Structure 1
Amino acid sequence: MPSSLHGSPHPVNDLLSAILLGIVEGITEFLPVSSTGHLLIAERWLGARSDLFNVAIQAGAILAVTFIYWRTLWSLVINWRRPETRDYVAKLFVAFLITAALGLVVTKMGFKLPETVTPIAWALIAGGIWMILAEKVAEKRPERAAITWRVAILVGLAQIVAGVFPGTSRSAATIFIAMLAGTNNRAAATEFAFLVGIPTMYAATGYELLKTFQHGGAAGEDWTGLGVAFAVSTVVAFAAVKWLLGYIRSHRFTAFAIYRIVLGIALLLLLPAGG
């Protein structure tokens, strides 16, 4: 998770920078605009943070989604005897398992996030164009809300692609791959993508916590800033996701695609050497 675009630590108010990073994360984690890309850019002005900090505030956004979907999650638990429920849960588990397994492989290979803004800018632009084209293709097909095994597998793979290429956006990658793979109902594709993200990000946070304590990094962590940013991210993400779920009932994702393209071009023009 983002920690590579190292800006200098904020000299005035580390707590304020933590709050601002929590706001950035909360707004962008589930909107298809790339939270990782926005955090990497924000850290250049607000100061770089630890891997644990960045994963933890993402977990705050995931907690917000857990609150929003608690009825759905509870329904999956109490109705587990129903074949359709077991089938849906199995697909969620397989998508998560693919992400977790490949995520460990990528981590063991020593993957590092980019040190410059340029690749993020290009990913924003490419992702915006892809979103516009993908939605046009999906809309030409008969509407289908069912989640197939093909969708589940591709969503798991899409989460890894988004993690390896900052600026791609995990939510955009998973939602649109689901729509292209057959679930072209925006609400159904979004719900499945968000539900897969819940165990994925909780697992990532637990992994970073374990690494931090194993390597003695707990003493050097800004736990106050982390806690405040976590809380801010949770509250802001709750509002952002509630708004998004209402928005997509009657709107396409075009506005987000245009925003990505404009932001990517602006970054390339403002930082021609890569930042």
Structure 2
Amino acid sequence: MTDLIKVILLGIIEGITEFLPISSTGHLLIAEKLGLGERSDLFNVGIQAGAILAVTLIYWKRIWGLLTQWRDPANRDYVLKLFVAFMITAVLGFIVTHMGFKLPEAVTPIAWALVIGGLWMIGAEQMAARQVDRTEVTWTVAILVGIAQIVAGVFPGTSRSGATIFAAMLAGTSNRAAATEFAFLVGIPTMYAATGYELLKVVKSDGVAHEDWTALIVGFVVSAIVAFIAVKWLLGYIRTHRFTPFAIYRIALGIALLLLMPSGA
């Protein structure tokens, strides 16, 4: 398999999995173990940035409306809740980083996170279905979504989008579309900040000089295109369908990895 094909496949994996509730970090680690190769930190940042750009474009009108219609009390309240959720993530993320936390490099914990997360999603979907359909985002939702982002960051395989969407649904925003929109809008500044932080580390370590820029650009473009298509599809899908198929996929993949991958791989 040529290096260019590997880069394209990694871009596709990132684009599909970054905002679907199936864990991008987990899938990229699995892809690395299966032979697609370990990439530089800047490459990983680049393909993630492509996925973020795609979602920013999808929500551009909504973002512009929130920023330009500040006098509307409902918009102002929504923006403040987005800000609080983001700040909770930023502060907790700063603490976790300075505690020296590092992501696991073995597949086994990822596999368990996929299985446990899938089971949790099925249970959470059932509990949310019993609630009255609500689109309102409460302060409780904002706080828990901020915390959920860090939980997903600390436990790869959890899925940032899955954790935040279901945190919102169980905390009161039971409408899937409304919960997903808030989770994704919080994720945009959060992921831009995380990407910027990683990029700064790469620049300081002089990793830029040794980067394969062709691979990075190809990965970025592929990730952006695929993420745009994947998120557009997801937003239409959840209007009339539950997240259960994603949960089943997570469980099946996690079990397969536990059975097929060598222990500690």
TM-score range, shorter chain: over 0.9
Cα separation, 1, equivalents of 2:217 and 2:156: 24
The aligned residue for residue 34 of structure 1 is 23
Cα separation, 1, equivalents of 2:176 and 2:220: 28
Letter in 2 for 1:42: A
Name structure 1 gaps, 5 residues minimum: 1-11
- Give the secondary structure class of the aligned counterpart of 2:101: coil
With 218-227 and 192-201 compared, the bigger mean Cα shift is at: 218-227
TM-score by length of 1: 0.93
Name structure 2 gaps, 5 residues minimum: none
2:226 pairs with 1:215? no
Letter in 1 for 2:55: V
Aligned pair partner of 1:203 in 171, 193, 197: 193
Aligned pair partner of 2:94 in 98, 104, 113: 104
8 Å contact from structure 2 (residues 93, 150) kept in 1:
yes
Shift of 1:272: 4.6
Aligned pair partner of 1:229 in 219, 244, 248: 219
8 Å contact from structure 1 (residues 22, 229) kept in 2:
yes
Cα separation, 2, equivalents of 1:221 and 1:111: 26
Equivalent residues in 2 for 1:74-113, closer than 5 Å: 74-113=64-103
Cα separation, 1, equivalents of 2:128 and 2:190: 26
TM-score by length of 2: 0.97
- Give the secondary structure class of the aligned counterpart of 2:134: coil
Shift of 1:208: 1.4
8 Å contact from structure 1 (residues 147, 183) kept in 2:
yes
Question: 4+ runs of 1 displaced by more than 4 Å?
Answer: none
Cα separation, 1, equivalents of 2:43 and 2:153: 16
The aligned residue for residue 267 of structure 1 is 257
Cα separation, 2, equivalents of 1:115 and 1:79: 45
Letter in 2 for 1:124: L
Deviations 1:41-92 (A, max 9, x none): 0112111112232232112111111111111011112211111111100111
- Give the secondary structure class of the aligned counterpart of 1:219: helix
Aligned pair partner of 2:6 in 10, 17, 28: 17
Shift of 1:222: 2.0
Equivalent residues in 2 for 1:1-275, closer than 5 Å: 13-44=2-33, 45-275=35-265
Cα separation, 2, equivalents of 1:101 and 1:48: 30
Deviations 1:164-209 (A, max 9, x none): 1110000000000100001000000000000011111111111112
Cα separation, 1, equivalents of 2:27 and 2:220: 16
8 Å contact from structure 2 (residues 42, 208) kept in 1:
no
Cα separation, 1, equivalents of 2:152 and 2:102: 13
Shift of 1:14: 2.6
Letter in 2 for 1:220: H
With 215-224 and 142-151 compared, the bigger mean Cα shift is at: 215-224
8 Å contact from structure 1 (residues 19, 228) kept in 2:
yes
Cα separation, 1, equivalents of 2:2 and 2:154: 31
